[in-house]
A = this chain, B = another copy of it.
C-alpha cells in the first residue's frame, strides 16, 4: 500500500441519498418503466455465468423473437442503450468498402450515415423531407442506382414521428441481393412489426420505449442472410464489445465468457417482455394505436396541428407543430418544472418547430393523455 501520497479530498462530495422528481415521461423516451419492471430490476444480482442467469437469457431471447415476430436464432440484448444496438447492427454486417444505402428522413437516418461511415462503408443516401416516408418505387429506383450491400431504413423515426411502411421492401432487397437493416427503436412493442414476414435481415431496438423498461439492455437480431455475411467477413468486426461472433458464443450453447452483462437490466427486460407476452403483442399494438388516436383527436380539438400525415403517424410518438409566436422550449420547461410532465422538443431540422409527445409502453394509457391535456391549457395560456 502506498503510504507516502496524501489524499486529495477536493472532489469528495458529501451528498444526501438520491432524490429525483417523479416525472410523467411523455417525451421521445425514456418512458416510465412499469412498476413491476422496476421491482424486478431491484433483485440482487447473480453472476453473469450463473445457471439462473443463463436461463433468463434464454427467456429473453424467446420473448424478443415473439415481440419482433421472428424466428432468428441470433436474437439477443446488447449490453448498452439503443444506440449501442444500432452500432452493433452496423458494425457486424459492414465491411470497409461496402456500399450502404441509407434512407434519411430524420435525425436517426443521419446517425446511421455517421455510424456506417465510421466502419468504412461507402455510404449513399436517399432523402425525404423530415416527417415523410419512402415509397416502394423510390426505394426501387435507389437500389437500381446504388446497388448497395445493405439498405438501412428507420421504421420509426423518433425525430419526426413518421412510420416507414416496410411491406414489400424485403422482397425488393432480395431482388437486388442486398440486406435489409431496420431501426425499430421507437416501434418495438408499440407498432406492428413482422420481421420475418417483411424479410428484415437485421433489426435493433431499445428497452425504454415500447417495452416499458429502463434503458440499458437493447434488442438486436440477425437473420440467416445477415449471419452469412458475418461469416464471410474478411476482417474482424471493428468493435470488440459488440462483436456478434463473440457475443453469439455467450448467448449460444457455448456460454463462453465475453463481458459482464448488466445483470439487473436483464432482470428488468425479462419482466417487461413477460408482461408484454401476457398482454399479447397484438393487444399492445392496439392499445398504442387507440391511445395515440385519442391524443391526436384531443390535440386537434385544441387547435394544434400534427406534423405527420395520419396514415404514416407513429402511435408511439407524435410530433405537434409549435404554433406561431409560441416559445416551444419555454412551454416544455414549464411543463417539466411546474407539472412534472416531460415532453420533447424538436431535433435537428425540426428543432424549434415541433414538440414530440411519446405514449410508449407503460405510458400508453388514457390517463397519460388526460394528465397532459389537463395542464396543456395552462402552459399555452388558453382557456
Contact = CB atoms under 8 A, between A and B. Distances in A.
Interface in A248-304: 257-265, 267, 270-271, 274, 277-278, 280-282, 285-286, 289
A13 B277 CA distance: 7
A201 to B, nearest CB: 18
A44 B22 contact: yes
A230 to B, nearest CB: 15
A21 B53 CA distance: 10
A79 B111 CA distance: 18
A31 to B, nearest CB: 9
B114 A262 contact: no
A37 B216 CA distance: 17
A30 B48 contact: yes
A23 interface: yes
B7 A69 contact: yes
A29 interface: yes
Interface in A217-273: 236-241, 257-265, 267, 270-271
Contact of A45 (B25, B274, B286): B25
Interface stretch (A57-65, A126-134, A368-376): A57-65
Interface stretch (A82-90, A142-150, A170-178): A82-90
A278 B14 CA distance: 7
Interface residues of A, number: 101
B206 A260 contact: yes
Contacts of A258: 83
In the complex, which of the residues A52, A259, A261 has the most CB atoms of chain B within 10 Å of its own CB atom? A259
A326 interface: no
Nearest to A257: B347
Contacts of A285: 1
Given A15-B277, A83-B260, A45 B32 contact: yes
Contact of A214 (B192, B257, B264): B264
A82 to B, nearest CB: 6
A325 interface: no
A336 interface: yes
From A7, A11, A117, A206, residue with most partner B Cβ within 10 Å = A11
A41 B39 CA distance: 10
A288 to B, nearest CB: 10
Contacts of A263: 30, 208, 214-215
Contacts of A192: 1-2
A318 to B, nearest CB: 16
B259 A46 contact: no
A25 B49 CA distance: 12
A36 interface: yes
A275 B192 CA distance: 45
B46 A274 contact: no
B83 A80 contact: no
Contact of A262 (B50, B62, B81): B81
A63 B281 CA distance: 43
6 contacts: A11-B65, A50-B336, A79-B80, A79-B84, A111-B240, A208-B263
Interface of A: 1-2, 5, 7-15, 17-18, 20-23, 25, 27, 29-30, 32-33, 36, 38-48, 50-53, 56, 59, 62-63, 65-66, 69, 71, 79-84, 87, 111, 114-115, 117-119, 167, 192, 194, 196-197, 206, 208, 214-216, 236-241, 257-265, 267, 270-271, 274, 277-278, 280-282, 285-286, 289, 336, 342, 347
Given A14-B278, A39-B42, 10 more contacts: A7-B69, A11-B62, A12-B63, A20-B43, A38-B44, A79-B84, A111-B240, A215-B260, A215-B264, A238-B238
